[in-house]
């Protein structure tokens, strides 16, 4: 075995040891709250865990760890057989031993030369604990089981796979999706080739011999057949890619215990440190959820548990006085409701005092005394989520510093979740967290339209290709593209999204199209460009946007920008509607009048507006513009302010006096940026006032589209 | 009467003496100035009724209760929302959350905001909306007689009160409850 293989095995053993540590910790803590008569099963588990640890360490030649595990195994064997009573002092020694084992293995993995002194010291401590507690019968065997026991057989075989390998698998699945797209493209090209051959055969039939014609027809049939087969193959690949993605989602799920179990120990130790007693209980730790969600909740849960121990739970003496059991109850409960994961953190401590919250808010200047006094209990309780708010009288390492609960809330909201608190003074508090069960992730094609990137779910993308606009055929006036054995309408994505007709390609004769389908219908969407495939975590849009069905959600890019995720079936419906109305390619394009004395600005705005699909009229000043307006139908005016003969303000006032033009969109675009100028512009009747330099031309186009849509 | 109030009265009387009493416009100006000064003195001894964040949007002055404001951010990049009414100005990334930006100009007045550079995030229970603004005016203390109820409004109007300088006071509860911003036609 070479060093690399050895290292790989050591890695696996480290993971196994980590898992054993988690189980042993949970079992040891459970022992403390279990009556001696009912401890047998827990002791059995502990014994087996230690035995497994001993076996693994021995086989890798880590003798000091094997010896420590052996001592622990012996002790637990005696307890299990009833030869020795289990004592709480063993718990601390065993937990310390596991810490040392972890440190020793980490050092070995890091390639550090480590003497194993920590492990030996832990063994000595464990031995001292054992010696201090005499066995029930002196004849107890020193080595109860010499390595013949076997770990409990599990019902299911598990394979340890690192998160990085899952990520690699995810990338491979993405690659597969890209390949599917390429095959789809080839299928489309083959079909087109067959059509062209057929056309050639028709044209050539008078000049060619019979044999040549037969051969040509045979080639045509073969090409058509290949096209059809490839199309079928693409469909089957689409199904496979969805299955793969679904399986991958399954791999990204872990039980809540992976995050929650380590809290058993940390809560116990923290409670001991500050002199309170708790019975810490976790319910529902077997519930599974997205690894990324659970891991992101670790920090908020640490904070809530620490807060409960530090500030919620009273000392045993105080609890007794209040008529409560000296040991406080602290419970984390996990459940799944619909597509949400619910986690509650409940303690039966002193609760949150609304009066104290009001007082603290007034003292910190967050509210005036009068405002604070007006708050009812529910609203007073909501103060805890405010930044910098704390009522804690004592400060611990992680709580009571006035930071925290706002950050807890922020972390949860970032996951698309929410958190609430309920509390009654003297009776304790419950924090209820609700987050999505899975972090919805979508693989999509990032496309650009009118300068804005959108994510189109890859499962809906059938083909991506370039087209030649002048060569497109028309069906009932609508440009169409041959796609497989059918013709699909060609519509600009910007037009489909805005519902406003625009020229295809916006000046580009050979634009990219992305053919999307929903299993029933398909359209070819003309885009400005394709940035490639991306996997992004999708967040739902706010309730105020959910009625706009063409928008499925939003995702965030690495640099913090927000990208809209498109809902393909709704988008297809919009595109088809636009196409049926005969407006898909901008034959009904809106007309915009640009009023600008500077030639450069005039041409610049014209270029952007035409690229966005508008018809553009130009004029150099207000007077000329007024003449044009009275002779040509115009849908909007984009005007400068300072111009010769008639400035933009006067032009606007005059426009407002023209019949039927009271509501004509007039955008004043100028370099005059004072608030007085802005107010003057709005008073003149402008629909909006934009400052050059602050508002680039493409933004002007965006704003304009809002008025003429 | 406090000494500062007495001083204001004396100054006003002196000014009245120096004023041509036959000039009614001048007299009115002086009386107004005196009333404002007196009110100011009075305000120093009163607790404000509420505190509003004042901002300008589409040339109009608005105020929103400070307690509803969860964040004020500079708009560095806003994702445009195609195919939605002009009132939905875009999507903003506010501290990692996607918040819908509302153009009050388009929402309330039918005139879009020109160049919004700030966003005021208001919160109500689990919902957030960002109101885009051209200018942040500042925090205004509102006293009992500073606001007037606007009469004859439809139920659920977002602006029901007018503050000083014609400031339109936004009612966050009504804003979030407005059917145009609701999810009644949720898919």
Residue B160 has pLDDT above 70, yes or no: yes
- Give the separation between CA B144 and CA B129, rounded to whole angstroms: 28
Q: Distance, in angstroms, between B32 CA and closest chain A CA?
A: 25
Average pLDDT value over all residues in chain A:
79
Q: If DSSP codes are grouped into helix, strand and coil, which group holds residue A80?
A: helix
Q: Which of A26-30, A440-444, B170-174 has the highest mean pLDDT?
A: B170-174
Q: How far is CA A312 from CA A261, A268, B87, in A?
A: 21, 15, 46
Residue A82, pLDDT > 50, answer yes
A536 pLDDT band, cuts 50/70/90, is confident
Q: Searching chain A, which residue's CA lies closest to the CA of residue B70?
A: A386
Question: Encoding tokens for residue A508?
Answer: 């580009």
Mark out the alpha helices in A382-492 (DSSP H runs).
405-414
Contact A452 B86 (CB under 8 A): no
From B90, B84, B112, select the one nearest A498 (Cα to Cα).
B84
What region, left, alpha or beta, does residue A443 occupy, with left being phi > 0 and alpha being psi -120 to 50 degrees? beta
Q: Does B111 touch chain A (CB under 8 A)?
A: yes
**How close is the nearest chain B Cα to the Cα of A500, in Å?**
9
> Cβ–Cβ of B95/A410 closer than 8 Å?
yes
What is the pLDDT averaged over residues A365-378?
83
Cβ of B67 and A691 within 8 Å?
no
Q: Is B154 on the interface with A (CB under 8 A)?
A: no
Please list every residue in chain B whose beta carbon sits closer than 8 Å to the beta carbon of residue A672.
none
Determine the residue among B46, B82, B125 to mutate to test chain A binding: the one whose Cβ has the most chain A Cβ atoms within 10 Å: B82
For residue A559, what are its two tokens? 């640099």
B86 vs A contacts (CB less than 8 Å): 706-707, 709
**Interface-testing mutation among B72, B83, B113, B187, with chain A (most A C-beta atoms within 10 A):** B83
Determine the pLDDT at residue A143.
Answer: 37
Find the mean pLDDT for residues A260-274.
Answer: 87
Chain A residues inside the 8 Å CB shell of B57: none
Weakest-pLDDT range from A138-152, A191-205, A316-330, A409-423? A138-152
Most confident of A25-29, A464-468, A505-509: A464-468
Question: Considering CB atoms only, which of A550, A564, A679 is closest to B79?
Answer: A564
Nearest Cβ partner for A554 among B98, B127, B184 = B98
Spatial separation of the C-alpha atoms in residues A623 and B13, rounded to whole Å: 55
* Residue given tokens 């709480």 in the structure block: A88
CB distance A548–B83 less than 8 Å?
Answer: yes
Q: Do A556 and B93 touch (CB under 8 A)?
A: yes
C-alpha distances out from residue A208 to A194, A201, A212, A222, A445, Å? 19, 9, 6, 20, 46
If you measure CA to CA, which chain B residue comes closest to A383?
B67
Do residues B39 and B96 touch, judged by C-beta distance below 8 A?
no
DSSP secondary structure letters along A93-104: HHHHHHHHHHHH
Q: What are phi and psi of A282, to 5 degrees?
A: -120, 125
- CB contact under 8 Å between A679 and B97, yes or no, is no
Tokens 């099963």 correspond to: A41
pLDDT at residue A636 in the model: 92
Convert the pLDDT of each residue in B63-102 to its tens digit.
999 989 988 988 888 998 988 888 899 999 887 778 999 9
Asked if B29 has any chain A CB less than 8 Å from its own CB, the reply is no
Cβ <8 Å between A678 and B117: no
Say if the Cβ atoms of A709 and B88 lie within 8 Å: no
Calculate mean pLDDT across residues A41-64.
Answer: 81
B46 in contact with A at a CB cutoff of 8 Å? Answer: no
Phi, psi values for residue B84, rounded to 5°: -125, 160
Helix (H, G, I), strand (E, B), or coil: what is residue A522?
Answer: strand
Please state the length of chain A.
Answer: 709
CB-CB under 8 Å, A549 with B79: no
A-chain CB neighbours of B113 within 8 Å are 688
Q: Which residue has the tokens 């302010």?
A: A641
- Partners of A439 in the β-ladder: none
| pLDDT at A680 > cutoff 70 | yes
Higher pLDDT, A464 or A506: A464
DSSP summary character for residue A402: S
Q: Which residue of B has its CA nearest to A369?
A: B47
The pLDDT value recorded for residue B45 is 58
The predicted pLDDT at position A527 comes to 93
* pLDDT for A153 beyond 50: no
DSSP A275: T
Closest-CA distance of chain B to residue A466, Å: 24
Question: Does ipTM top 0.85?
Answer: no
- Residue the block writes with tokens 């005021």: B120
Cα(A450)–Cα(B95) distance, rounded to whole angstroms?
A: 27
| pLDDT value at residue A398 | 38
Residues 6+ apart with CB under 8 A from A152: A45, A48
Q: What is the spatial distance between Cα A238 and Cα A458, in angstroms, rounded to a whole number?
A: 10
- Indicate yes or no: pTM above 0.90: no
Nearest CA in chain B to A451: B80
Query: Is the pLDDT reported for residue A138 higher than 80?
Result: no
Could you give the maximum distance between any two Cα atoms of chain B, in Å?
72
From B105, B134, B185, residue closest to A547, measured CB to CB? B185
Pairing of strands A486-492, A478-483: antiparallel
DSSP type of residue B102: E
User: Contact, A350 vs A426, CB < 8 A?
Assistant: yes
Mutation choice for B interface testing from A370, A493, A494, A687 by most B CBs within 10 A: A687
- For range A231-242, the mean pLDDT: 74
**Cβ–Cβ < 8 Å for A104, A119:** yes
Q: Is the predicted pLDDT of residue A192 greater than 70, yes or no?
A: yes
Rounded CA-CA distance B37/B16 in Å is 15
In this prediction, residue A137 carries a pLDDT of 44
Taking the CA of residue B132 and the nearest CA in chain A, the distance in Å comes to: 14
The mean pLDDT of chain B is: 78
CB A513 within 8 A of CB A527: yes
Q: Which residue of chain B is at minimal alpha-carbon distance from A493?
A: B82
Tell me the nearest-neighbour CA distance from B10 into chain A, angstroms: 34
3-state secondary structure (DSSP) of residue A277: coil
CA B173 – CA B36 distance, rounded (Å) = 32
Distances in whole angstroms, Cα of residue A373 to Cα of each of A354, A362, A378, A650: 10, 9, 13, 54
A493 CB-near residues (< 8 Å, 6+ apart): A447, A449, A454, A514, A525, A526, A527
List the strands of the sheet with A328-337, edge to edge. A278-283, A328-337, A340-347, A428-436, A418-424
- Alpha-carbon distance B148 to nearest alpha carbon in chain A (angstroms): 21
Residue-level pLDDT at B100: 95
Distance CA A193, CA A223 (A): 7
Per cent of chain A over pLDDT 90 is 15
User: What three-state secondary structure class fits B65?
Assistant: strand
State pLDDT tens for residues A30-51: 887 787 878 888 888 888 888 8
| SS3 state of residue A191 | helix
Question: Is A269 or B54 the better-scoring residue by pLDDT?
Answer: B54
Separation between Cα atoms, residue A375 and residue A387, nearest integer Å: 18
Strand ranges (E), chain B: 50-57, 60-65, 69-74, 88-94, 97-102, 118-124, 127-133, 135-142, 148-149, 159-162, 168-170
Q: Which of B114, B117, B132 to substitute to test the interface with A, most A CBs within 10 Å?
A: B114
């Amino acid at each position: 075995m070479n060093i690399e293989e050895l290292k790989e095995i050591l890695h696996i053993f480290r993971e196994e040891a980590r898992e054993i540590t988690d189980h042993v910790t949970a079992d040891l803590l459970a022992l403390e709250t279990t009556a001696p008569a009912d401890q047998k099963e827990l002791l059995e588990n502990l014994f087996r865990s230690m035995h497994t640890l001993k076996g693994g360490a021995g086989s890798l030649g880590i003798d000091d760890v094997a010896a420590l595990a052996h001592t622990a195994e012996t002790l637990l064997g005696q307890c299990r057989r009833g030869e020795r009573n289990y004592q709480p002092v063993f718990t601390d020694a065993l937990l310390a031993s596991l810490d040392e084992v972890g440190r020793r293995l980490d050092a070995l993995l890091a390639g550090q030369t480590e003497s194993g002194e920590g492990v030996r010291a832990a063994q000595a401590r464990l031995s001292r604990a054992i010696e201090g507690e005499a066995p029930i019968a002196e004849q107890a065997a020193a080595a109860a089981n010499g390595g013949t026991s076997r770990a409990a057989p599990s019902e299911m075989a598990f394979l340890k796979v690192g998160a990085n390998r899952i990520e690699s698998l995810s990338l491979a699945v993405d690659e597969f999706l890209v390949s599917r797209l390429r095959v789809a493209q080839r299928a489309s090209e083959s079909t087109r080739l067959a059509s062209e051959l057929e056309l050639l055969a028709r044209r050539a039939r008078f000049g060619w011999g019979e044999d040549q014609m037969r051969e040509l027809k045979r080639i045509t049939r073969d090409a058509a057949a290949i096209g059809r087969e490839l199309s079928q193959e693409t469909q089957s690949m689409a199904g496979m890619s969805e299955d793969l993605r679904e399986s991958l989602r399954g791999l990204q799920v872990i039980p809540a215990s992976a995050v929650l179990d380590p809290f058993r120990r940390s809560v116990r130790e923290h409670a001991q440190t500050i002199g309170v007693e708790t019975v810490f209980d976790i319910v529902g730790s077997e519930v599974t959820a997205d690894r990324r969600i659970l891991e992101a909740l670790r920090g908020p849960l640490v904070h809530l548990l620490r807060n409960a121990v530090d500030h919620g739970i009273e000392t045993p003496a105080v609890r007794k006085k209040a008529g409560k059991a000296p040991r406080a109850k602290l419970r984390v409960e996990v459940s799944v409701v619909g597509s949400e994961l619910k986690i509650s953190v409940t303690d039966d401590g002193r609760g949150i005092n609304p009066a104290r919250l009001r007082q603290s808010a007034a003292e910190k200047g967050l509210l005036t005394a009068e405002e604070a006094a007006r708050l009812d209990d529910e609203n007073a309780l909501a103060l805890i989520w405010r930044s910098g708010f704390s009522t804690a009288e004592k400060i611990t390492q992680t709580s009571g510093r006035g930071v925290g609960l706002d950050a807890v809330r922020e972390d949860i909201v970032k996951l698309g979740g929410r958190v609430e608190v309920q509390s009654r003074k003297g009776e304790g508090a419950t924090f209820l967290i609700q987050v999505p069960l899975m972090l919805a992730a979508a693989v999509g094609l990032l496309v650009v339209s009118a300068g804005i990137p959108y994510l189109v779910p890859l499962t809906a993308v059938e083909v991506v290709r370039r087209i030649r606009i002048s060569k497109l055929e028309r069906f009932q006036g609508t440009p169409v593209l041959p796609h497989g054995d059918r013709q699909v309408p060609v519509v600009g994505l910007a037009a489909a999204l805005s519902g406003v007709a625009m020229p295809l390609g916006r000046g580009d004769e050979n634009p990219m199209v992305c053919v999307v389908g929903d299993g029933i219908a398909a359209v070819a969407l003309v885009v400005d460009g394709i940035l490639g495939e991306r996997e992004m975590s999708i967040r739902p849009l706010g309730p105020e946007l959910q009625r706009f069905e063409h928008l499925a959600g939003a995702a965030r890019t690495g640099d913090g920008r927000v990208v809209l995720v498109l809902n393909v079936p709704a988008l297809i419906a919009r595109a088809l509607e636009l196409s049926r109305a005969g407006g898909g390619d901008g034959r009904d394009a809106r007309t915009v009048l640009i009023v600008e004395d500077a030639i450069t600005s005039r041409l610049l705005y014209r270029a952007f507006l035409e690229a966005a699909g508008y018809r553009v009229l130009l004029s150099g000043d207000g007077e000329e513009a007024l003449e044009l307006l009275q002779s040509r139908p115009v849908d909007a005016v984009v005007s400068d302010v300072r111009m010769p003969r008639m400035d933009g303000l006067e032009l606007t006032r005059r426009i407002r006096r023209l019949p039927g033009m009271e509501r004509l969109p007039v955008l004043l675009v100028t370099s005059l940026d004072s608030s007085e100028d802005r107010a003057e512009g709005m008073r003149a009747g402008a629909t909006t006032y934009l400052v050059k330099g602050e508002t680039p031309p493409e933004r002007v186009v965006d704003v304009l589209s809002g008025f003429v849509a | 009467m406090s000494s500062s109030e007495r001083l204001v009265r004396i100054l006003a009387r002196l000014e009245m003496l120096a004023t041509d009493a036959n000039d009614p416009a001048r007299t009115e100006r002086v009386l107004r100035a005196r009333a404002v000064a007196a009110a100011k003195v009075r305000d120093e001894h009163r607790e404000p009724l509420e505190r509003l964040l004042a901002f300008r949007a589409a040339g109009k002055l608005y105020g929103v209760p400070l307690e509803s404001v969860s964040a004020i951010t500079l708009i560095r990049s806003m994702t445009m929302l195609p195919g939605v009414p002009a009132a939905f100005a875009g999507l903003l990334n506010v501290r990692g959350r996607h918040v819908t930006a509302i153009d009050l100009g388009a929402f309330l007045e039918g005139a879009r905001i020109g160049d919004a550079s700030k966003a005021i995030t208001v919160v109500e229970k689990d919902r957030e909306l960002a109101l885009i603004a051209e200018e942040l005016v500042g925090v205004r203390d509102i006293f009992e007689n500073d606001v007037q109820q606007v009469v004859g409004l439809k139920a659920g109007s977002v602006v029901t009160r007018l503050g000083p300088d014609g400031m339109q006071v936004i009612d966050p509860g009504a804003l979030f409850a407005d059917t145009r911003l609701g999810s009644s036609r949720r898919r």
